[in-house]
């Protein structure tokens, strides 16, 4: 249809009542996705939202697009089926830190290594929300939760490192309280040709309230975080007076003028890994934005290219040829 009107963010809202707790970070994520789809002029009949199970995974019900709320941990696999079956469908995966990194960790790494063109949003609230507050694979060691009353002894994953290690071609981090930043990141993810992994720090007001406040609150944000912007120096601070400088395997804080320029498109995943290492150092700001954005062939592209190639070589197969092979014989 050529005369499609450009849709507005609200056109992507379904008529279902949203049932997240008041104040939950999920609200800001869904409205960012709706705005981004509208801004990019997407056709809602061509968008598929696939989720697993968790608070976050209710997402598809609230979107007026095609949607599939599936089973715990399997969204990436189902979405892979959707995308390979019909590469024209813009396919998003909505998952949580439990859904996507614990029960679904295997499908997550494999969909990333295969570079299926999926837009994967990992709602990281460092807790199992829907089951009411157990520790997850991203809960910091020592944290008390319902199943770790004396503190969690499990070492957590760094989701970005997991994605980078799996060979993801697009890796980014954003947070619920910065909708503008989130939209920019989601837009870049949507426009990336290949698997895009976006970790969103999402506050669970009920079971893990304030888990990110050391970095998300306005008064500390400027000093505690740094925005990675392609082609721009890595600067931070309330006056943008500080910068990060990369030297070999070390990153140090320097005056803004000496900051290194950030480039997520370099071939090596090394710089992205290096930046993700800063999470471990309490004296360093945590980087947000696009860590990595490189091009590589997509799974669905390769699958269908191969089909075209073989078909060009062998001709369109007719059912009869499959059945009546050269080793058949006739009884008269």
Ligand X SMILES: Cc1ncc(C[n+]2csc(CCOP(=O)(O)OP(=O)(O)O)c2C)c(N)n1
Write out the residues near Mg ion by the rule CB under 5 A. 96-97, 125, 129
Cα distance between residue 331 and residue 311, in whole Å? 32
Q: Which of 34, 56, 80, 216 binds other proteins (CB under 8 A)?
A: 80
Nearer to ligand X, 130 or 246 (CB): 130
Binding track over 32-61 against ligand SF4, x by CB under 6 A:
-----------------------x------
Q: Tokens at residue 290, please?
A: 């696009």
Q: Tokens at residue 157, please?
A: 């994953």
CB under 5 to 8 A by kind: which of other proteins, ligand SF4, ligand X, none does 205 bind?
ligand SF4
Q: Which of 6, 10, 41, 85 binds other proteins (CB under 8 A)?
A: 85
Rule CB under 8 A: is residue 107 a binding residue for other proteins?
yes
CB 116 within 8 A of CB 298: yes
CB 161 within 8 A of CB 174: no
- Residue labelled with tokens 């290194």: 260
Rule CB under 8 A: is residue 302 a binding residue for other proteins?
no
Min CB(75)–other proteins separation in Å: 9
Of residues 37, 49, 46, the one with CA closest to residue 8: 37
Name residues contacting ligand SF4, limited to 127-156 (CB under 6 A).
129
Dihedral, CA of residue 39, residue 41, residue 44 and residue 47, to nearest 10: -90
Q: Which of 13, 69, 183, 193 binds other proteins (CB under 8 A)?
A: 69
- Residue labelled with tokens 């320097």: 254
Nearer to Mg ion, 12 or 157 (CB): 157
- Residue 210's CB is within 10 A of a number of other CB atoms, namely 11
Cα distance between residue 74 and residue 81, in whole Å? 11
CB under 5 to 8 A by kind: which of Mg ion, ligand X, other proteins, none does 64 bind?
other proteins
Q: Tokens at residue 12, please?
A: 């992507």
Q: Candidates 28-36, 62-70, 144-152, 168-176 — which segment interacts with other proteins by CB under 8 A?
A: 62-70
């Amino acid at each position: 249809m050529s005369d499609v009107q450009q849709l507005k963010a609200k056109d992507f809202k379904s008529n279902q009542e949203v049932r997240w707790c008041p104040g939950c970070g999920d609200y800001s994520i869904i409205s960012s996705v709706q705005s981004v789809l509208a801004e990019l002029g997407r056709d809602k009949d061509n968008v598929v939202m696939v989720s697993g199970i968790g608070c976050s995974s209710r997402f598809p019900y609230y979107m007026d697009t095609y949607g599939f709320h599936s089973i715990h941990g399997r969204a990436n696999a189902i979405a892979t089926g959707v995308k390979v079956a019909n590469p024209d469908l813009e396919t998003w995966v909505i998952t949580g830190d439990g859904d996507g990194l614990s029960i679904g960790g295997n499908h997550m790494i494999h969909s990333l290594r295969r570079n299926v063109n999926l837009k994967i949003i990992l709602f990281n609230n460092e807790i199992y929300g829907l089951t009411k507050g157990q520790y997850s694979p991203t809960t910091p060691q020592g944290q008390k939760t319902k199943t770790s009353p004396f503190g969690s002894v499990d070492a957590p994953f760094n989701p970005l490192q997991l994605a980078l290690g799996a060979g993801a071609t697009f890796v980014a981090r954003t947070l619920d309280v910065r909708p503008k930043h989130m939209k920019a990141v989601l837009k870049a993810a949507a426009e990336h040709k290949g698997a895009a992994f976006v970790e969103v720090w999402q506050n669970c007001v009920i079971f893990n309230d304030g888990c990110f406040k050391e970095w998300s609150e306005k008064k500390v944000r400027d000093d505690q975080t740094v925005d990675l912007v392609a082609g721009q120096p890595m600067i931070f601070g309330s006056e943008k007076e500080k910068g990060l400088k990369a030297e070999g395997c070390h990153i140090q804080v320097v005056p803004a003028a000496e900051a290194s320029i950030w480039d997520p498109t370099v071939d090596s995943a090394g710089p992205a890994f290096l930046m993700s290492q800063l999470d471990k150092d309490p004296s360093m700001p945590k980087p947000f934005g696009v860590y990595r954005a490189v091009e590589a062939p997509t799974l669905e592209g390769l699958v269908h290219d191969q089909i075209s190639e073989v078909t060009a070589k062998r001709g369109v197969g007719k059912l009869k040829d499959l059945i009546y092979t050269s080793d058949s014989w006739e009884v008269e």
